[in-house]
């Protein structure tokens, strides 16, 4: 047998062995083999796990707790990208995988390491923390609507590269995961990245995407949501202007709005969030350091 053919069979056999090991429940290895891969892997609350699903002629389907996951790759190597919620307890988690070369559904385990995010304790007037009954009712209505937006999952393939362009130039004024404690009352951790910029500064799409929601919300002010495919969404808040409508398809670098100070804020900036399988994840994992 010619050497190249024999070597190819050996390689295929090795890949099949890896898949078989995964099928019996061994921990999934990272799909990063030293090369830069976007988004970067960070298996902590608010981070992203890149899990190898092995080779297969057709794209496998993966989910966690019934929520579909983004699966990228080709017949040589498929990779599941798993957004890890900020509320995740460190330890072992599992995803479910169907299809591919496995005849039966299987599970892959991965581990989440602890991470301590910065805390900020502030004393503020009570009226800035406690909502009036009318404001609370508005917030509840908006939360119900936004839950349907955040559940968006389209089968359309995302861009070939998931490295994002920063949507607006400026200084990072607040990082992902920051927990603020107002008058001794803990609030949810900061679920995005704040970028300081002047009112009217153009906000640009960081990846190709479809506009799936726009609106003026109590906390977020003027807001735009983009769907990048496969459960990867992004959100832009506190805008002074919205220049797009639901259904619009944007290319990387196209304008979607302008920086402002609408909603529950004290000054102009862009709040930028990235969501993967309904979990807010750190936008910094998608951009150059």
Q: What is the mean pLDDT of residues 270-281?
A: 97
Output the average pLDDT for the chain: 85
Please confirm whether the linkage preceding 77 is cis (ω < 30° from 0).
no
**What's the number of CA atoms in the CB half-sphere (13 Å) around residue 272?**
32
Dist CA 260 CA 264 (whole Å): 11
Buried b (16+ CB within 10 A) or exposed e, 257-275: bbbbebbebeebbbbbbbb
Fold annotation for 3-112: Immunoglobulin-like (2.60.40)
What pLDDT, on a 0 to 100 scale, did the predictor assign at position 182?
Answer: 64
Q: To the nearest whole percent, how much of the chain has pLDDT over 90?
A: 67
Is the pLDDT confidence value at 12 over 90?
A: no
Dist CA 154 CA 227 (whole Å): 8
Please confirm whether the linkage preceding 230 is cis (ω < 30° from 0).
no
Strands 119-122 and 179-182: parallel
Domain boundaries, the chain: 3-112, 119-286
169 vs 123: which has the higher pLDDT: 169
What pLDDT, on a 0 to 100 scale, did the predictor assign at position 129?
Answer: 67
Dist CA 286 CA 190 (whole Å): 17
Is the pLDDT confidence value at 202 over 70?
A: yes
User: What's the maximum distance between 2 C-alpha atoms anywhere in the chain?
Assistant: 81
Do residues 274 and 237 touch, judged by C-beta distance below 8 A? no
| pLDDT digits 0-9 by tens, 75-96 | 999 999 999 999 999 999 999 9
Superfamily, domain 119-286: Glucose Permease (Domain IIA) (2.70.70.10)
What pLDDT, on a 0 to 100 scale, did the predictor assign at position 131?
Answer: 80
Do residues 223 and 256 touch, judged by C-beta distance below 8 A? no
Q: What is the pTM of this model?
A: 0.84
| pLDDT confidence tier of residue 130, bands split at 50, 70 and 90 | confident
Identify the CA nearest to 227 among candidates 149, 143, 283.
149
């Amino acid at each position: 047998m010619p050497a190249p053919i024999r070597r190819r069979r050996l390689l295929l056999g090795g890949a099949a062995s890896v898949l078989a090991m995964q099928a019996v429940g061994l921990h999934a290895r990272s799909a990063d083999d030293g090369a830069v891969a976007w988004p970067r892997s960070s298996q902590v609350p608010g981070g992203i796990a890149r899990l190898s699903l092995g080779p297969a002629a057709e794209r496998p389907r993966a989910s966690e707790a019934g929520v579909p996951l983004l699966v990228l790759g080709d017949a040589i190597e498929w990779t599941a990208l798993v957004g890890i919620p900020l509320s995740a307890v460190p330890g072992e988690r599992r995803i479910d995988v169907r299809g591919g070369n496995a005849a039966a559904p299987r599970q892959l385990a991965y581990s989440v390491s602890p991470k301590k995010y910065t805390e900020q304790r502030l004393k503020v007037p009570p009226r800035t923390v406690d909502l009036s009954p009318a404001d609370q009712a508005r917030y509840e209505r908006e939360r119900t609507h936004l839950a349907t937006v955040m559940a968006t999952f389209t089968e359309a393939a995302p861009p070939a590269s998931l490295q994002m362009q920063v949507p607006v130039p400026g200084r990072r004024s607040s990082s992902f995961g920051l927990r603020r404690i107002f008058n001794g009352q803990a609030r949810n951790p900061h679920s995005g990245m704040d970028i300081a910029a002047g009112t009217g500064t153009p906000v640009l799409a960081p990846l190709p995407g479809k506009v799936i929601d726009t609106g003026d919300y109590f906390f977020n002010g003027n807001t735009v949501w983009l769907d990048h495919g496969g459960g990867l969404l992004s959100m832009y808040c506190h805008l002074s202007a919205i220049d797009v409508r639901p259904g619009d398809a944007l290319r990387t670098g196209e304008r979607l709005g302008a920086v402002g100070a609408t909603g529950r804020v004290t000054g102009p900036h862009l709040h930028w969030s990235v969501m993967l399988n309904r979990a807010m994840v750190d936008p910094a994992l998608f951009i150059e350091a």
